[in-house]
Structure 1
Amino acid sequence: MNNEAEINVEIPEITAMFVGTKGKYGFAQVVDDFPNAKEVRILTYSRIGYGNNNLKLRELQTLSPETKLCIIVALPGLKNPKIDGQYEHNQFREDSIVMELGKIKQQFDISQYSSKDVEMYVCFKNHAKLIGTENVLYIGSANYSDNSVQNYEAGMIIRDKSVIKEIYEKYFDEIVAVRYYADEYDTIRLKILSIAEGLENLKMDIDIFIDYFEDRAENADNMKKTYMMLLNKMKEVIMQLESCDGKLMETVLSDICGVQDVMEDISRQIYDAFDSGYEKDIEFFADYYEEYHKERMGVNSCDSWIDEDTPYILLSEEVEQEYYVSEYWTDELKKKYEVVETIREIDDLIKIINGLVVELNKSPYELFESELVQVGTDKNALK
């Protein structure tokens, strides 16, 4: 389904048969063709139904495994929010979307369908009704539901296959709708590959960090080992994605949580490298400041330039001055590009992983519900 919100389709000179009904289904001829159909398409306003006793839902659930099924439903009864006292017609209330979607949740249980190729969509602004196969198409007032048999309904039956195909291509396929995927592997796979790529990019930052601040980061070896463990764990996760057994998500969730722990461990190791309680020979700090500031104030090995307000620290007074110099060293290093960039990369990746863990703990239906709410409450998405 595309993202265009406007559709204007005209197909002139169509040969059709009128059907007006009450007490029977106006689309009965389409249902009769289900056993012969390669595809079945349903575009309806009301929910098809729920429960094992729903006849029209069972007819779709028991289609041949080789028959492709595509269903687009609306969510009747959605409520619009009020903005400045006026109803906002281009968005819907979140609680209303969740409540109405819950009424047809069973309908979206793809495991209940015999067809191996099922596509389920929700269209927020649909009121059209099309029920068809590639051989016969009903267009009219009747929804595809058990209740339509009780009402006065009127519509047209079309059997011209070329016209049916044109209607599907120009109208049905252009309906703006949100698709429900029972299998979230594709989405999860893309997110994990994105994380893996980010970790590969992070390697350069960590290598630079360790080399540049090796004197400061006494845990450099541990950091390297931790990082290599992280890359290996991500390789295991990606290998798991090649499998599609029923426990895939459980395994990936466990591995991703492990990746999350290692990332946070690396972050701690970097911050520990700047611990103000870090003990270093005080002469090292003197040499450091002498190298960087000797041109400014002629600092010697027993004095250190700090700032304009405190131009000198007498390093001979080690007990009093060591902590202050170490604090200054820490503050200066934290401003370095290599440090800032490394920590930023790690923090960004941890946020992505945290989000992925949240998604992995959601069911496919919950992911779909979240996406539906996001679209339905976006005032720009439904215009």
Structure 2
Amino acid sequence: MKKIISNIMGELILTYQENGYQEVLDTFTESDYINIATFNINSFISNSYLIHGLREIDVSTPVTLILNVPEGDYYHRRINYILMLLERERFGNLNVYFNFSNHAKLIMTNKIAYIGSQNFSDASRNNYELGILVRELEQVQKIESEIFEELKNNSVLYSTSEYNVRMEELSSLLNGSIKGIRQQIFTVYGDGYPVPEQEILDIHQAYFDKNNWRKFEELYANFEEVINEIIDGYQEVLDQEAIQSYMNELNLSITQFISELEELSNFSIFQEESMMWEKFYENDTGDNLDYHMEKAVNVVREIKEEEFHQLEDLTDILISLFDSIEEQIQNVMDRIYEIREEMISRTLLFNETIIRNRQ
């Protein structure tokens, strides 16, 4: 196999005791993506300048790392350290691939590319290294699409630990949704000091959309499904009694929560005008229109005031439910955190098996 890209123009750089791709590193925080292909990384240096640099990149920036695992002394320990070092929970949007035939070195963003002899490794600063920097954007895009993609397509994806995947999944399922519903229903008054912040149910501003909590019910069903999968997969190490207790409490709270929301949505300020005309037509006899209109307005006002008082009575109940649901979700997440090391350990073993089988 041979890939050729003609007429690539750049600057030839010879370095010693510094990085030939420093200009590429300088663009990391302002780039759309970061791609790195390297034969080796520093696998035994916890304060690696380059690794810490990757951890500081915004989580929205995808980082793709293609790595070989050189054989040698302490090979087994090296593999495990690399796997733990590159565990995704330590980074933002990091995706790691292993390619056991790779000896190429390519460090690039959508702005600039380095091609040369230097690994993405702090130790390589101590060597004489030779490379080329390519700045022309069209050529950078060709390197990305024709060279880096070729390497990636012939590599095996590192499996992020189940703990990290599951926690991201669970967190996204419920937390954002419950906060969104809360913000739509309640108005926050007070500036914290000297007036304490408090949530007020204001019928003129509260927004009741049944689709929102129906969607929340669906998300909770997915949440339960993921929890049950974790329980089934980690029966021997998970405190099943505790997590099941929290799930039962959460289930009861959500059932009551949905019921209270149904009550709150029975009357809304947006129904007032249509209700007024309905009462007017019920009583209108064709004479004394002003009297019948005023009567209709008063009837609707009375209904509104009665409903609003009921809403006020439910305010504390609903706030308490919001708080308890958030607390119970956190309790469930805490139980899963207790088996974090086991979940990561199993994934490391899985990745090590892949690496050994591909060598």
The TM-score, its normalising length taken from structure 1, stands at 0.46
Larger proportion of helix: 2
Greater relative contact order (CA < 8 Å, ≥ 6 in sequence)? 1
Q: Which has the larger radius of gyration?
A: 1
